Structure 1
Amino acid sequence: MKNAKKLGLWTLVMLIFVPTFGFGNIASNAVTLGPAAIPSWLIVALLFFLPLSIMIAELASANKDKEGGLYNWIECSIGPKWAFIGTWSYFVANLFYLQMVFARIPVMISWTLFGENRFNDANAYLLPYIGMGLAIALTYIATTGVKRFSKISDLGGKLTLAVTVIFILFAVVGVLVGGQPSATAFTSGTVIPKFDAGYFSTFSWLILAVAGAEVAGTYIKDVENPKKVFPKAVIIATTFVAGAYILGSLAICLVASPELITKAGVKDAGYVVYKILAENWGLNGKIFVQMYAFILTISSVAAYVVWLESPIRAMFSEVPSGTFPNFLTKKREDGTLVNALWVQCAILLVLIIVPLAGLNNIDKFFNLLTTLSALSLAIPYIVLAAAYLTFRLKGNVPPFVMLKSKAAVIIASSVVFVLGILAFFGAGWGNIAGAKNFSEAIVPILKNYGGPVGFIIFGFFISYLTKTFSKSNIKDK
C-alpha cells in the first residue's frame, strides 16, 4: 500500500512537463521572432535548459531525503544565506507569475465554450474579478494536496503532449505530403536571428520560458525509488519540453505567416493557428479549437495548482527554524503548508486588486509585473549554477551523475551562470533601450533592476524581524 501512494516515473514526468511547457509560449515568441524562434529555442534547449536540468537532477539525487527542493540544493553547497536569496527570489517571481496567469484561464474557457476570445475590449474588465475567484478556488484545491491532484496533472500533461504532437505531425505532413504550401518563407534572412538589443531582450524571455524542471524537486520524498526515478524523469521531461518547443515553432511557421500570427496577438495566436490547421485539412476549425482549448484548460489548471504549491514548499518547508514565523512554516502531516498557501493567496488578491484601485494604465502595470517576475526568476538559476559548480568542485559525487569530468562540470555550470546573468539584464532591457537619455532611463532601471533587489532585502527584513521576535520571547521566558 505504501508504494501505491508514491509518484511513479511518468506521473513525475508530467508533473514537470505540465508547468514547464506552454504552447502559448511558442505562439507568443513566434509573434515576436517569427521563424528565428526555431533556432533560438534550439540554442536555449542545448545551452541552458539541458545543463540546468542535469544540475537539478544531480543535486536532487544528493538531497533525496529532503523535501525543500531548491533551498536544499543551494544550501548543501554554499550555505543558508544564498539558499534564502535563491529561494526567496523564486517565491517572489512566482507571485508575479501567478497573479498574471489567472487572467489566462477565463480566455481558455471562452475559446472552449464559444470558439473565440470574448474577453477583448468591452469585457476585459471582468478578468481581474474572475482572477480573484480563481486564486481562491485554486488555492483551496492546492491545500488538499498536490499529490492527490497529480492524477489530473498526469492526464493534462499527456493530453497536452498529444495535441502538440498532433499539431506538429499534421502541419508537417500537410506541407510534405498534402501539397499545402508553407505559410512562411524560410530564408537565411528570416531564420537566422538578428543579434541586436531587441533580440537580446527576447532571448532572455526564451530562457525563462523553460523554467519548471525544478518544481518537482519539492516532491522527491513522494517519489518511488527517487535515486533512480527522479533524475530519469527530469531528463525525459526536459527532452519532451525542448522537442515540443523547437518542433512546435517550426509547425506554427508552416501553418501561419508571421503577419497573421502578429495580427492574432500574443493572447490568441495559439488558438488561431490550431483553427487554421484544422481548416487546412477540411475540418471544422471552431470545433477543433474548442477541443484544444478544453484540453489546455485542464492542463493549465493542473499546472497552476502545482505552481501555487511547489514554491511554497521550496521556501518554507526546510528553512532553519526561526527564519520565518511559525505560522508560515507549520506543515500538515502530508507536508502541505496550508497557512502559507492562504497567505500567498491574500498577497495575490492584493496584486490583482491594485490595478483596479485607480491606476490609469493597467497594461503598463502588468508589463512591469511581467518584467519583475522574469528578473526575479533569473536569480535562482544564477545562484543554483554557482552552487552546483561549488558542490562538484568540492569533490562531492551525487548518487546520480551525468557530468562526469571536471571540465564538463565547469563548462556546463559556467554557461548556465552567464546565460542567467544575461537573462536578468536582458529581460528588463526593453523599456530601458527606448529611453532617449539617462534621466529618462533611470526610472525603468530602478523599477526593473531595483525591484528584485528590493524584494530580496524585504525578505531578509522579514527574517530579521522573526529572529529578533523569537529571541525576545526566549528572554521573556
Structure 2
Amino acid sequence: MEHMEYIEPQKKHYMAWPVIALIDFVTIISFENIFYPFQNQGLSVVISWIFLFFSYVLPYALISAQMSLTFDNQAGGLASWVRRSSNDTLGYWTSWMYWVQSVPYIVDVSNSVIVSFSWMILGNNSLDKRMSTFWFGILTFIIILVFILLENLLKNSLEVLSLIGGGAMFIMSFLFVLLAGYAVMHGHHIATQPFNWSAFKPSFSLNYFSTTGLLIFAISGAELAAPYVSEMKNPKRDFPKSMWLLALMTGFLTIFGTLALAMFFNAHHIPHDFKMNGPYYAFQLLGESLGMGKVLMYIFAVVQAVFMMAQLAVLLDASSRVFAGDVADKFMPKWLTKKNKNGRPIHSYTITAGLSLFLLLLTGTLPNINTIYNWLLNVNGIISPYKTCWVFFAFVAMRMHQEKYHSSYVFIKNKTGALTMGFWCLIFTFICATLGFIPQNIAFGTKGFNHQLIMNIITVLVLFGLGFVMPWLRKREKIRENN
C-alpha cells in the first residue's frame, strides 16, 4: 500500500476587527471632511460634533452592527436590509438611491484629484485664476472616463491603492492633530481669538441647521462594513467592537481635528476657498510653524491625490455592483444588467458617465471653480443623508417585528427604547437632508442664491426621478418579450 501524505486543509483567512474598523473608517471620513463644517459653523461645530457623537455616530454604528449580524448572509448590504425588513419595491429604491447618491460624490472626488495635482505642480492656490470653469469640467470628465476604463482593465490593484491611500490619509490626519498640539505647546500663537467658551456657543440660525446635512454626509457610511461580517472568525463578539472603534476614531478626528484647525485659522475669518484649499493651507501653516517650509503640504498633496483616486476607483466599483444586485429582474431593464467579459455591468458605467456629464453641465453655469467645488459638496449634503435614512428605516421596520428575526447582537434590548432611538435618527437625518436644499455661503434672496436653489432642486429631481424610469422601461421590455 502506497504511503499517503496527509494534507492539512487550507485555513480560511479571517479579518481582524481593528482592520475592518480601519477599512470602514477610510471610506467614511477623510481629513477634508472636517474643513467644510468648520467653515460653515466656526468653532461652534465642536459642540455639534460632540452632540452628534453621542446622539448619532454611536447609535448609527451600533445599529449597523445589529443589522449586519441580523442579515449576515446577504450580499446586497443596505438594500438587502430594507428588502428583508419591508418589501422588494423599497429594496429597489434603496439600491437606486444608494447608487445615484454616489454620482455627485464621484464628480466631487474627481474635482479633488485636480485640486491636489494643482497644488503639487503650482505649489499654491492659483488654480481658480489659471483655469476656466469649462476646462475644469472637461478635465473632471476625462478623469472619470479614465477611471471607468481602468476599472475594467485592472483587478485587485484598487484594493491595494485604497489601503495605501487610506492608511496614509489616516496617518496624516492624526499627525496633523498631534503636531498642531505640539506647535501650540511650543509657543505657536492660537489664531482663533478670543479662544474662550463664547467662541464655542452655537448660534441656532437657519444657516446652522441647513449645514448640518454636511456633517451627516461627513460621518455616514458605517453600513459599508456589512459585507465583512462573513470574513470574521467570531462576528458576534468582534463585529460590535469594530463598530465601537469606528465611532471612537470618527469622534476623535472630528472633535480634535476641528480644535487643531482653530489653532491655525481664525474661526471668525475663514478664507472663502477654505473647502477647496483648506487642507493644503493647514499643512503649509503647520510646516512653516515647525520650520519645515512647504514639505508637509507637498506630502499631503501626494497622499490626497492617491487617496482620492482610490476613492474614485472604489466608488465606481461599488456603484456598478448595484446594477448586478438581486433586485435587478423586476425593476431593472435587461440591457442595464448586461455584463461584459470581466463580469461587470457595462451599461451602468454609461449611465454614471452620462449623469456626471449632466452635473458638470450644470456646474458650468457657476461663476468660478471655488463655487463649483462648494456647490457639489452641498449637493452631497442633501443626497447622501436621504440615502442614510434607509439605514434607520430598516432598523425600525426590523425592530417592529423583531420576533421574526434573530440577531447575535442587539442594540438596546428594550423594544420601545430601540424604536425611539431608530425614529430619532431617521427623523433627524431626513430634516437635515431637506434643509440642505438651502444654498450655503451665499446671501438669501440674491440672484446667486436663487440660481443654486434651482440647481439643487433640478439635481435631486433628475437623480431620484430616474429611479421611476427604470421599472417602467423594464415593464415595456417584458411586454415586448411576451408578444
Q: What per-residue deviation string (whole Å, max 9, x for no partner) do you get for residues 365-392 of structure 1?
A: 7766544443222222223212211202
Preserved contact between residue 68 and residue 223 of structure 2 (Cα < 8 Å): no
Preserved contact between residue 229 and residue 235 of structure 2 (Cα < 8 Å): no
Preserved contact between residue 330 and residue 339 of structure 1 (Cα < 8 Å): yes
How does the TM-score come out when normalised to structure 2?
Answer: 0.86
Q: How does 1:71-82 map onto structure 2 within 5 Å?
A: 71-82=79-90
The one-letter amino acid of 1:301's match is: M
Query: 1:307 Cα shift?
Result: 1.9
Is the counterpart of residue 64 in structure 1 residue 59 in structure 2? no
Partner of 2:210: 201
Partner of 2:94: 86
The one-letter amino acid of 1:376's match is: I
Inter-CA distance 352–441: structure 2 relative to 1 (3 Å threshold): closer
For 1:173 and 1:157, the matched residues in 2 are separated by 24
The one-letter amino acid of 1:57's match is: A
Aligned residue pairs: how many?
469
Bigger shift: residues 245-254 or 226-235:
226-235
Task: Specify which of 343, 353, 358 is matched with residue 351 of structure 2.
Answer: 343
Preserved contact between residue 42 and residue 267 of structure 2 (Cα < 8 Å): yes
The one-letter amino acid of 1:53's match is: A
Bigger shift: residues 454-463 or 300-309:
454-463
The one-letter amino acid of 1:170's match is: L
Task: Specify which of 146, 149, 152 is matched with residue 158 of structure 2.
Answer: 149
Secondary structure at the aligned position of 1:349 is classed as helix
Inter-CA distance 49–146: structure 2 relative to 1 (3 Å threshold): farther
Q: Percent identity?
A: 19
Q: How does 1:61-460 map onto structure 2 within 5 Å?
A: 61-125=69-133, 126-143=135-152, 148-175=157-184, 177-184=185-192, 185-217=194-226, 219-220=227-228, 223-225=231-233, 227-228=235-236, 231-258=240-267, 261-262=270-271, 265-284=274-293, 286-314=294-322, 316-330=324-338, 336-353=344-361, 355-356=363-364, 359=365, 361=367, 369-395=376-402, 396-430=405-439, 448=456, 452=460, 455-460=463-468
For 1:119 and 1:272, the matched residues in 2 are separated by 14
Inter-CA distance 134–80: structure 2 relative to 1 (3 Å threshold): same
The one-letter amino acid of 2:21's match is: V
Bigger shift: residues 252-261 or 26-35:
252-261
The one-letter amino acid of 1:18's match is: V
For 2:18 and 2:149, the matched residues in 1 are separated by 26
Inter-CA distance 442–37: structure 2 relative to 1 (3 Å threshold): closer
List runs of 5+ in structure 2 lacking aligned partners. 1-8
Preserved contact between residue 136 and residue 345 of structure 1 (Cα < 8 Å): yes
For 1:143 and 1:8, the matched residues in 2 are separated by 30
Query: 1:230 Cα shift?
Result: 5.0
For 1:299 and 1:444, the matched residues in 2 are separated by 29
Q: What per-residue deviation string (whole Å, max 9, x for no partner) do you get for residues 49-102 of structure 1?
A: 222222222212222222211210111111122222233223222112212321
Query: 1:221 Cα shift?
Result: 7.6
Task: Specify which of 445, 449, 474 is matched with residue 466 of structure 1.
Answer: 474
The one-letter amino acid of 1:112's match is: M
Query: 1:12 Cα shift?
Result: 3.4
Partner of 2:4: none
For 2:292 and 2:373, the matched residues in 1 are separated by 37
Query: 1:262 Cα shift?
Result: 2.3
Bigger shift: residues 376-385 or 413-422:
376-385
Preserved contact between residue 85 and residue 380 of structure 1 (Cα < 8 Å): no
Preserved contact between residue 11 and residue 150 of structure 1 (Cα < 8 Å): no
Inter-CA distance 349–365: structure 2 relative to 1 (3 Å threshold): same
For 1:23 and 1:75, the matched residues in 2 are separated by 34
Inter-CA distance 270–326: structure 2 relative to 1 (3 Å threshold): same
For 2:372 and 2:251, the matched residues in 1 are separated by 31
For 1:65 and 1:429, the matched residues in 2 are separated by 40
The alignment's C-alpha RMSD in Å is 3.3
Bigger shift: residues 244-253 or 158-167:
158-167
Preserved contact between residue 355 and residue 362 of structure 1 (Cα < 8 Å): no
Secondary structure at the aligned position of 1:111 is classed as helix
Query: 1:352 Cα shift?
Result: 2.7
